[in-house]
Amino acid sequence: MSDTHAESVAYVRDTMLPETPPPAAETGVTKWMKQNLFATIPNSVLTVAAIVVIYFLLAATLPWILNGIWNATSIRECREILEGATGGCFAVLSDRWNQLLFGFKYPSTEYWRPALAFLLLFVAAAPVMFFKYLPRQLLLFTGVYPFLAFWLIWGGSIVPPLLLLLGFVAAYVAFKALEKRGFGVAALGGLGVLIVAIILAGSIGKIEVLRLEQVQSRDMGGFMLNMILGTVCVSLSIPIGIALALGRQSDMPIIKWICVVFIEFIRGVPLITLLFVANVVLAYFLPPGTTFDLIIRVIIMITAFASAYIAEVIRGGLAALPRGQYEAGDSLGLDYAQAMRLIILPQALKISIPGIVNVAVGLFKDTTLVSVISMFDLVGMIRGPILASTDWNGVYWELFGFAALLFFVVCYGVSQYSQWLERELNTDHR
């Protein structure tokens, strides 16, 4: 058979053809461009349109950035140096750098303190953010961080924050000791110990140990104020949000309705009206003779605002858990507190983390609204003292561009993290 076959084939190539490079249109840059930029006619039109847009954007901004002045003491000097040419007056950034970051009243010798607190924030946040990759012991530092940051930023004696920290530790120990006797008793016990510690901290806090120069809350300003408001309010609002979400899911009608009304009310009004409340109304609801600092009132309102949104995210997480998880908890004989703490919440929170991060980013951006109620955050510094000064009257683009850039860097970073986390968490389910 093979013979006949051999005869029927006239020619068999016994050597391979030499490899030739692919046609020019099917390789390298050309192919890539053909596929990605000029695949079809409408596609090409889009590409050209995109190039035009990019050209105009660059033509408008590049000369302005490249020709910028970084060394001058006032806008008049900038104008003299530029002599009518296009160029930014970025000197305002170098001149008012510290004010933009720290506000104008933070003592200039103490700038290292908020800067250090800011750096440590990364160290403290890392074990939470990358919980899979870092040893859990690092979480201890996360626990210590709020007290450390408080001491660094506000200053004063180290005793009150230290006592508070010890109070929390003692409360936790008390909680653990009483846990056998039921969650409610343990929680009450822990709370009692905590309150004792707070009163102690308030009364013997005058002892001067490791004293840093004290800075009043109202002296905070600039980007530091945005960071403080953002981190403090988000961290405070997570536990409150969890409580609200659980309350909203509760079987107890009164508690459920309290939570529903609170959440829907807060979500129904713009943050700015809540800030008006903090600024012009809240004072009337406090006992005569007490006046909170504006920053504390604002923290209260923003925290309430964030809690309502976080509660909704967590409610989504709770709802996404299969019914079987709740039933499994019941069938093991766990009571409500145990089931929530050991089974439901760990899973629900894990699902909710990306949502919480999104709320946090949104909230951080919204902290700029405090500029409307005469607080000197980054935007407030720009719109108030800096633009009002005779030296820098009229430097809009540079300042707002800088503010936009600063927020972009932080928010983009956090949202990239959130997307990474989402992918990370997703692998478990597929």
Partner 1 sequence: MTTLTDPPQESFRPSMLLNDTRYRSYTFQFIALIVLISIIAYLGYNLVLNLRAAGLNISYEFLGEPAGYDINQTLVEYTSRSSHLTAAIVGILNTLLVAFLACATATIFGVIAGVLRLSNNWLVRKLMAGYVEAFRNVPVLIWIIIIFTIMTAVLPAPRAFRGEDADASMILGSIAFTNRGVYVPMPIWGPGSMVVVVTFILSIVGVFAYRAYAKKLLFDTGKLLPMGWPSLAILFVPSILMFFIMGQPISLDYPELGGFNFSGGLQIGAPLIALWFALSIYTGAFIAENVRAGILAVSKGQTEAAASLGLRPRRIMNLVILPQALRVIIPPLISQYLNITKNSSLAIAVGYADITATLGGITLNQTGRAIECVLLLMLFYLLISLGISAVMNVYNNAVRLKER
Partner 2 sequence: MKKSVFLGALTVAGLTAGAAAAATLDDVKARGTLNCGVTTGLVGFAAPDSNGNWDGFDVGVCRAVAAAVLGDPQAVEFVPTTGKTRFTALASGEIDMLARNTTWTFSRDVDLKFEFVGVNYYDGQGFMVPKELGVSSAKDLDGATVCIQTGTTTELNLADYFRKNSMNYEPVPIETNAEAQQQYLAGACDVYTTDASGLAATRAAFEDPSAHVLLPEIVSKEPLGPLVRHGDNEWGDVVRWTLNALIAAEELGVTSANIADMASAAGDSPEINRLLGTEGNLGEMLGLEADWAVKAISAGGNYGELFEKNIGETTPIGLARGLNAQWTDGGLLYSPPFR
Site string for partner 1, 210-239 (x = CB under 8 A): ------------------------------
User: Which residues, 6 or more positions from 203, have their beta carbon under 8 angstroms from its beta carbon?
Assistant: none
CA distance 182 to 88: 66
Query: Which residues, 234 to 253, sit near partner 1 by CB under 8 A?
Result: 251-253
Question: Using CB under 8 A, which of 270, 319, 327, 342 touches partner 1?
Answer: 270
Look at the alpha carbons of 373, 374, 378, 383 in this order and tell me if their dihedral is positive or negative.
positive
| Contacting range for partner 1; rule: CB under 8 A; set: 12-20, 123-131, 163-171, 272-280 | 272-280
Between 149 and 301, name the residue whose CB sits nearer to partner 1: 301
Burial of 318 from C-beta contacts in 10 A (0-12 / 13-18 / 19+): buried
Options 9-17, 159-167, 317-325, 394-402: segment touching partner 1 (CB under 8 A) = 394-402
Helix/strand/coil for 212 = strand
Smallest gap, in angstroms, from Cβ of residue 384 to partner 2? 4
- Residue 364: C-alpha distances to residues 13, 27, 170, 403 (Å): 71, 47, 33, 13
Least separation in angstroms between residue 271's CB and partner 2 is 16
Nearer to partner 2, 303 or 352 (CB): 303
Query: Between the CA of residue 399 and those of 72, 242, 403, what are the distances in Å?
Result: 15, 39, 6
Spell out, one character per residue from 329 to 368, where the chain touches partner 1: x when CB under 8 A holds, - when not.
------x-------------------------x---xx-x
**160 binds, options partner 2, partner 1, none, Cβ within 5 to 8 A by partner type:** partner 2
**Structural tokens at position 263:** 């959440």
Residue 377 three-state SS:
strand
Smallest separation (angstroms) from partner 1 to the CB of 104: 20
| Shortest Å distance, C-beta 177 to partner 2 | 24
Q: Smallest distance from the beta carbon of 285 to partner 1, in angstroms?
A: 5
Residue 231 interacts with partner 2 (CB under 8 A): yes or no: no
Which residue in 338, 339, 276, 347 sits closest to 314, CA to CA? 347
Q: What's the first-to-final CA gap in the chain, in angstroms?
A: 54
Q: Please, which of residues 107-166 interact with partner 2 by CB under 8 A?
A: 108, 154-156, 160, 164
Site for partner 2 in 271-330 (CB under 8 A): 276, 279-281, 283-284, 286, 288-296
Residue 188 burial (C-beta neighbours within 10 Å; 0-12, 13-18, 19+): middle
